A = this chain, B = another copy of it.
Amino acid sequence: MTPILLSSLDLIGTFAFAISGATLGVRKRLDLFGVLTLSFAAATAGGITRDIIIGAHPPAAFADWRYLATAMLAGVVTFFGHDRVERMRNPVQLFDAVGLALFAVSGTAKALEYGIGPTGAILLGMLSGIGGGIARDVLVAEIPAVLHRELYAVAALLGAALVAAGSALGFPFAPTAIAGAGACFLLRFMAIRRGWNLPIARLRDVDD
């Protein structure tokens, strides 16, 4: 994977996540700034958190203006074309799965590069993929969807684990990254199609 391709995919993921943030902001009746904030948070919070944890100062979202520009573009498009975006829900979910796959893989790779061990790197790769959605939902006072949605985090975990395993076994990065991103995307895609979910605990007494 050339850096240009990687960077393009990264911005596509940013765009897709930003749309998910903006869509939620519009539904919650936030003003234009609120919608743009959710765009930016959904698109960048995962990577920012990862960079803060591994000590990469400043995080890419603040060092490279293209992330901000991409998130703002997605936010403005969603703000003014909200009806159309809602009708396109399927393509948006596809983009979102692409973003998840790419962020999980690149997040794991970046953590390994900074000397984090495999367990930590897998966690941070997953966090890179799901952190934006968590920030987005916490900002509108909702329980993060990732905590109860079809195999979202598990898909990120799978992609991250493949990258960490490949690195530990000394495989070259490109095929490992493609395998990790592909597996993450496929699992997420199938979970959406088939409605696959993780179990929830059986409660004898519902006390809530």
Interface residues of A (CB under 8 A from B): 25-35, 37-38, 48, 52-55, 57-59, 62-63, 65, 68, 79-80, 82-83, 86, 114, 116-117, 119-120, 123-124, 134, 138-144, 146-149, 153-154, 197-205, 207-208
Q: A32-B198, A53-B62 are in contact. Are A27 and B148 (CB under 8 A)?
A: no
**Top 10 A-B residue pairs of the complex, sorted by shortest distance between their CB atoms:** A55-B57, A34-B147, A62-B120, A31-B198, A65-B119, A32-B198, A26-B201, A30-B147, A33-B153, A31-B200
Contact A32 B199 (CB under 8 A): yes
Q: Point out the residues of chain B lying under 8 angstroms from A197, CB to CB.
A: 31
Q: Name the residue of chain B whose CB is nearest to the CB of A69.
A: B119
Q: Point out the residues of chain B lying under 8 angstroms from A29, CB to CB.
A: 148, 200, 208
CB < 8 Å neighbour of A31 from B35, B199, B207: B199
Contact B27 A207 (CB under 8 A): yes
Q: 9 more A-B contacts (CB under 8 A) besides A33-B198, A138-B138?
A: A27-B203, A29-B148, A37-B147, A54-B58, A65-B119, A68-B119, A80-B201, A138-B139, A139-B143
Q: How far is the CA of A30 from the CA of B144 in the complex (A)?
A: 10
CB < 8 Å neighbour of A124 from B25, B62, B140: B62
Contact A53 B52 (CB under 8 A): yes
CB distance from A25 to the nearest CB of B (A): 8
